[in-house]
Amino acid sequence: MKKVFVTRKLDDEIIDQLSQHFKVEEWPHDDRPVPREELIKQVSDSHALLTMLSDQVDAELLEKAPKLEIVANLAVGYDNIDINEVKKHGVIITNTPDVLTETTADLTFSLLMTAARRMIEADQYIRNGKWQSWSPYLLAGSDIHHKTIGIIGMGNIGQAVARRAKGFEMDVLYHTRSPKPKAEDEFNAKHVSLDELLEQSDFVVCLAPLTKETRGMLGAEQFARMKTSAFFINAGRGPVVNESALISALQNGEIAGAGLDVFEEEPISSDHPLLSLSNVVAVPHIGSSSRATRFAMMKLCADNIEHVLNGKEPITEVR
Ligand code: 8YV
C-alpha cells in the first residue's frame, strides 16, 4: 500500500478519504509545524506529501525521498517548494488555486476597509472606556468609495478584489507581468507601470507571488512614491516587501496606514515594531481561512494525491 504523509492535523473526513486507498500518517498537531528531522524521516518511504507553507521542500529533502510521486501543497502559493529540484526528481507538484480566490479577496478587501475606517482603533476605544461623547472628527477615517485602488499582481485574487472595488465605484489600476484584457473590459482597469500605480493610488494592494523577481520589490523608494494619504495592503507574501522600509514609511507619515495579512518572517511576535503602530491592522496569514474554503483546499490536495497515486492526471498541477 502506498504511503501518504500529511504534515499537519487536518479534517478527519480528509484523512478518512485518503485512508480508503493509502496508508496515511499525519503529524498530530494543527498549531505547530512538523520538525524538519521528522519530515525527513517520514519522507523516506512516502509516495505522497501533503504539505503546508511552513514546510521547505528542497534538494536535501528530495534526496531522501526515493519513492515520492507528488507534493500537494495546501496553498495557491508555492514559494516553500524548490520547483526546479522537484521537477528534476520527476515529482509532481500541485497547489490549491480557484477554491480560495473569493475568500482571500474578501479578507483583502476587509483589511483595506478596516485600515481606512480605523475599525480596530474604534473597537479598542469603546473597550477602553474612552467613549464619553460624540465629537465631529471622532475616529475620522478615509473614504473608500470613488477612490483609486492599485493592484499589484492581477491574478485570480487580484481580479476578485477589483470586482469588489467596482462595487464601491473605485477606479482600478493594476500592475502585473502581462496585461489582462479581460480585466480591462470587466472593471475598466488600467495597466500602468509600478511607479504610476504607486503615485496615483489611494490604496495599494499587493497580491504578487513571491519569486526571485518580486522579492523585496517594494522598498523605501516605492513607499516614498505613494501619497501620504494612501494605504498599503499586503495579502500576498511578506518578503515582497522590505519590512523595515515599510515601518519607516508608516512612522514618518510617508503613507497613512497599512493592512497586513503577511510578514517578512512568520509568525511575528507581539513585540514586533509593526504592532506598536496604531495605523497598522495586522492579521496572522488568514487570507483563505474560512471553514468552507480551508476544507475545499484540503479536499483538493487529497483529490490530487488520489489521482496521481492511482496513475491519473493531477487536477491542479503547478507547471
Ligand atoms: C494558505 C496562502 O492558506 O494559498 C496561499 O498561498 O497564502 C494561504 O491561502 C496559507 O499559505 C497556508 O498554507
Residue 162: per-residue pLDDT: 98
Q: Which residues have a catalytic role annotated?
A: 237, 266, 285
- Give the C-alpha separation, 285 to 263, whole Å: 8
Q: How far is the CA of 245 from the centre of ligand 1 (A)?
A: 24
Residue 156: per-residue pLDDT: 97
Q: What is the mean pLDDT of the chain?
A: 98
Residue 148: per-residue pLDDT: 99
Residue minimizing CA distance to atom 10 of ligand 1: 75
Residue 237: per-residue pLDDT: 98
> 191 is written with which cell numbers?
495597466
**On the CB side of 274, how many CA atoms lie within 13 Å of its CA?**
23
Residue 249: per-residue pLDDT: 98
Number of neighbours of residue 253 by Cβ within 10 angstroms: 9
Percent of the chain with pLDDT over 90: 99
Map residue 150 onto helix, strand or coil: strand
pLDDT tier for residue 10 given thresholds of 50, 70 and 90: very high
Residue 147: per-residue pLDDT: 98
The structure's pTM equals: 0.96
Pocket test for ligand 1, best of 8, 32, 100 (most atoms within 8 A of CB): 100
Residue 266: per-residue pLDDT: 97
Q: How far is the CA of 53 from the centre of ligand 1 (A)?
A: 7
Pocket test for ligand 1, best of 9, 30, 34, 53 (most atoms within 8 A of CB): 53
pLDDT tier for residue 111 given thresholds of 50, 70 and 90: very high
- Give the C-alpha separation, 251 to 272, whole Å: 14
Q: How far is the CA of 103 from the centre of ligand 1 (A)?
A: 11
Which tens digit of pLDDT belongs to each residue from 57-103? 999 999 999 999 999 999 999 999 999 999 999 999 999 999 999 99
Report DSSP letters for 41-90, one per residue: HHHTT-SEEEE-TTS-B-HHHHHT-TT--EEEESSS--TTB-HHHHHHTT
Residue 96 alpha carbon, nearest atom of ligand 1:
4
Ligand 1 pocket list (CB less than 6 A): 52-53, 74-77, 100, 285, 287-288
All structural domains of the chain, each given as residue ranges with its CATH number in brackets, are 3-97+291-309 (3.40.50.720), 101-282 (3.40.50.720)
pLDDT tier for residue 163 given thresholds of 50, 70 and 90: very high
pLDDT tier for residue 282 given thresholds of 50, 70 and 90: very high
Pocket test for ligand 1, best of 9, 104, 285 (most atoms within 8 A of CB): 285
| DSSP β-bridge partners for residue 75 | none
∠ CA(265), CA(271), CA(277), 5° rounding? 95
Q: Which residues contact 110 (CB under 8 A, 6 or more apart)?
A: none
